[in-house]
Amino acid sequence: MSVPPELVGAWRRVGLTLDDTRLVDCSDVLWLQTPTWFADIRLRLLPEGRIPTEGVPAWLYAQAAFAGTAHWSSPMMTWEHVLDYNRSVAPGSNSLARSDGVLIESGITTVAGRETPFTEEWLRMSGADDACSLHVEQGACRVEVGGWAIELRDARPEGQFSAVRYRVNGGGWKVTGSLPL
């Protein structure tokens, strides 16, 4: 099933909990969701800063970008990565629920060999009626929702993987972050 309208939008991660412990989020995470595709870019707030990684799965703090198709079967969202810096092949599935205007994503991750619950809290950055657009070609995609865009290009193995985050500013698209990984 395609993604319902209430989940389509631009979302910023505003909270992170691992095993009932609230973490300091060292990343600026933007997730763009259309009715069929998504894009996600995770940039460190202080790229040169020390990241508190002990006992925390790398995916919670690592810089990354990925995009692909999304499928909804309430309450579960499944994201299948078509483009991914880490070349993930397994889809990710987690439950989504609303609480006080925040979208709560809940799942299980492995920490020190033990299955551990986590939550990511997401705040909508776009209006409910903001337009979405999607451009997909071999090895590349651009997802736009409202005034936000994420563009990914994977030219590996000969070239590089790159991801760029944009925001509409002054009538045009301005780069607000990138990952030349």
Look up the CATH number of the domain holding residue 64: 2.40.128.320
Distance, in Å, from the CA atom of 29 to the CA atom of 122, rounded to the nearest integer, reads 9
Do 14 and 101 fall within a single domain? Answer: yes
Distance, in Å, from the CA atom of 80 to the CA atom of 70, rounded to the nearest integer, reads 6
Three-state SS for 15? strand
Do 82 and 137 fall within a single domain? Answer: no
Domain residues for the domain of 174 are 132-180
Mean pLDDT, rounded, for 146-169: 95
Amino acid, res. 97: A
Do 31 and 67 fall within a single domain? Answer: yes
Distance, in Å, from the CA atom of 23 to the CA atom of 149, rounded to the nearest integer, reads 27
Do 99 and 28 fall within a single domain? Answer: yes
Distance, in Å, from the CA atom of 65 to the CA atom of 14, rounded to the nearest integer, reads 18
Chain position carrying tokens 């995609």: 141
Q: Which of 124, 147, 170 is the last residue of a domain?
A: 124
Contacts of the segment 166-174: beta carbons below 8 A, 24+ positions apart: 173/149
Q: Assess whether pLDDT exceeds 60 at residue 80.
A: yes
Do 168 and 139 fall within a single domain? Answer: yes
- Whose CA is closest to 15, among 99, 122, 124, 98? 122
Do 39 and 85 fall within a single domain? Answer: yes
Do 101 and 174 fall within a single domain? Answer: no
- Note the pLDDT tens digit of each residue in 88-122: 767 789 999 999 999 999 999 888 889 999 999 99
Supply the pLDDT for residue 75: 97
Q: Which of 108, 124, 140 is the last residue of a domain?
A: 124
Do 103 and 144 fall within a single domain? Answer: no
Do 30 and 111 fall within a single domain? Answer: yes
Residue 62 confidence class, pLDDT cut points 50, 70, 90: confident
Q: Count of domains in the chain?
A: 2
Do 156 and 176 fall within a single domain? Answer: yes
Do 138 and 83 fall within a single domain? Answer: no
Mean per-residue pLDDT over the chain, rounded: 90
Exposed/middle/buried for 176, CB within 10 Å: 0-12, 13-18, 19+? middle
Under 8 Å between Cβ of 69 and 82: yes
Distance, in Å, from the CA atom of 141 to the CA atom of 132, rounded to the nearest integer, reads 13
Do 93 and 119 fall within a single domain? Answer: yes
| pTM: predicted TM-score of the whole model, two decimal places | 0.93
